[in-house]
Amino acid sequence: MHRLKAEPMKRKIYFLLFFLILFFVSYGSANSVKLSNKDISLDYFPVIVKNIETGFTLHINDSTKRTRLEGETLNIVINGETHSLPVFRGKVVFKKQFKQRTNFQLTIDQAHFKEEIHPIPLWMSILPPLLAILMALIFKEVFTALFTGLLLGTSIIQFYQGGNILLSIGRGILSIVDTYILNALNNTGHLSIIVFSLLIGGMVNIITRNGGMRGVVNRLAVYANNARNGQLVTWLLGILIFFDDYANTLVVGNTMRPVTDKLKISRQKLAYIVDSTAAPIASIAFVTTWIGAELSYISDGIKTIGLEQTPYNVFFNSLAYSFYPVFALIFILLIVMKRRDFGPMLKAERIARHRQPNAEADNGTGFSNKLNELQAVKGIKHKSYNAVIPVLVIILGAFTGLIYTGIESTGWSENMAFTRNLSNIIGHADSYKALLWSSLAGILTAIILTVTQKLMNLENTVSSMINGFRTMLTAIIILVLAWSIAEVTQHMHTADFISRILLDMNLAPYWVPVLTFIMAALVAFSTGSSWGTMAILYPLILPASWLISQEYGLDHQHSLSIFYNVVSTVLAGSVMGDHCSPISDTTILSSLASSCNHIDHVRTQLPYALTVGSVGIIFGTLPAAYGFPSYILFPAGIFILFLIVHFFGRSVWKSSGS
């Protein structure tokens, strides 16, 4: 009887012993795994910059050992220091900074790695974009400028990876093609812009040949009957196409170019109006392709500092400090209505006004897309709807595509107001898909209208479309080179160099928004990307601005106003830097759409952008940080801009028709 009762107890003891033995065996086996050089491999990004963390990934290649070590901790000796690092999905990830030339050594069990590291000095990161920008402005030739800056960057990278100067230059030339240009093309966003530009070029060629563009010119001539009204119509179109800066530049520039040519408005002025309405309006409107990225960056900043506000609410409040975008839009209007210009733009406008009616409008050697030389097919009626309908298809199609992809991504919330819901949806939309769909629909519409009305046969229509594709080749080459040099600046951490210099100045919190604006402008100018600038600076500056305000002893409300100001100045500075940079993609697209010499566009726009930026800082950003209300600062800034135009501007052409 007692033996029967003891049996279940014995079974439990046996099972317990079995599991204990199994546990210790498995634990011991995991710790008894020994790794050799053939079992593992070490990956790291070869471009290593001084005092910038470099990521290393240790891969366990042996499948059996990888399984047994999963979730375990490995003791890894790195340059004499032991680090206990976890194994996750067969990899061990860690980061390390290098302050000088170092013999990097890593040991784990029987495995040993040794590599001589030559970190690139951080100050060298500014040299490639600086050389490209200086050469572009001095020699007025953007291809050589971009290629030279790119070559300098790749040569520096190759030199610090080992090799003499001549060998580094040779390797640098090869890496331009096999690394940076391929990477620029192996990017969905970049390819989308290229295809979108090609389709727009093809459509513009078709609607020019089928008489639609001439019909638009004839229609707009009723309202745009002189240079001032022509510029005003261009400005209004730039405001109306507010939802995307790429669509804005290409559609407005291509549509208004024949009109402005007829009215003897310079291509430089057209490019300026197109460029300086596109990004400013897209950056501050509630329903744009920018809003999603902006809210995402703001959200990360809010989480870091623990601020109890929604990203949308922060964005809305930051608009009270958006001085540069608003002033940029108003400044164009003042220039147009006062019929005054100054600087290089004044010279360009005077040359254009005195141009003979049949003279070539583009007096430079920039984007020779020759669309202005195309003539409609002889013997057909010039009907404006053959151009208006395809353009409207693009505009409405892009907006519809944004809503469709946004709803697909985030859905429609019943708990939000309509405007906020719409902004949230478009903020989460796939803007590239929307633009591609709409541009394809636009070109198909142009083809159907042309063929069904027998304005051209199908063969000639398709031929016109292909010729339109060819007109975009110059711009695409420049875009690819600009994207390539932007990646070089990213690898060399140019933005970190600029940011660290400015952050080390230790200013009072009242000066943080001004510092942020300058920092964002410099980064965008050097990298040619406003979106890239926002991605870099928002995570860096938002928590820092809040911390500086709190440590300085400011109350919550004043700290909050400076925080809103900083949110705005990152965005505003990014847009201004983009306007000044010859390697910016939106600046390049504005030159392309206006068929304007690219360097002429940058040279004539630069004084206007700097003027508006200076007024924005002195009469907007800085006094707002000290507590001056926006309802006083906006009118004051606009009044100062009016005075600048009035006293420094000169009449382009004093005859009444101008």
Mean pLDDT over the full length of the chain: 83
Q: How confident is the model at residue 124 (pLDDT cuts 50, 70, 90)?
A: very high
Q: Maximum distance among all alpha carbons in the chain?
A: 124
Token duo for residue 225: 């009957």
pLDDT digits (tens, 9 = 90+) for 239-292: 887 767 877 787 788 888 888 888 889 999 999 999 999 889 888 876 666 766
Q: What is the CATH number of domain 40-119?
A: 2.60.40.10
Would you say residue 643 has pLDDT above 90? Answer: yes
> Measuring CA to CA, how many Å separate 276 from each of 142, 260, 581?
21, 17, 13
Average pLDDT over residues 11-28: 54
Ranges 128-132, 149-153, 408-412, most confident: 149-153
Residue of 249 and 214 predicted with greater confidence: 249
Q: What is the Rg, in whole angstroms, of the alpha carbon atoms belonging to the chain?
A: 30
Residue of 259 and 24 predicted with greater confidence: 259
Would you say residue 121 has pLDDT above 80? Answer: yes
Q: How confident is the model at residue 26 (pLDDT cuts 50, 70, 90)?
A: very low
Range with lowest mean pLDDT among 13-17, 95-99, 343-347: 13-17
Domain ranges of the chain: 40-119, 123-186, 189-297+322-329+341-473, 476-651
| pTM of the predicted structure, to 2 decimals | 0.70
Nearest to 530 by CA among 367, 327, 325: 325
Query: In sequence order, what are the residues at sequence separation of 6 or more whose Cβ sits closer than 8 angstroms to the Cβ of residue 305?
Result: 542, 543, 546, 547
Residue of 415 and 323 predicted with greater confidence: 323
pLDDT digits (tens, 9 = 90+) for 459-473: 999 998 998 888 778
Q: What whole-number distance in Å separates Cα of residue 76 and Cα of residue 94?
A: 11
Are the C-beta atoms of 527 and 490 separated by less than 8 Å?
A: yes
Average pLDDT over residues 361-382: 59
Are the C-beta atoms of 560 and 323 separated by less than 8 Å?
A: no
Are the C-beta atoms of 407 and 422 separated by less than 8 Å?
A: no
Start-to-end CA distance of the chain, whole Å, equals 119
pLDDT of 20 reads: 55
pLDDT digits (tens, 9 = 90+) for 96-113: 888 888 888 888 887 888
Q: What whole-number distance in Å separates Cα of residue 574 and Cα of residue 643?
A: 26
pLDDT of 430 reads: 81
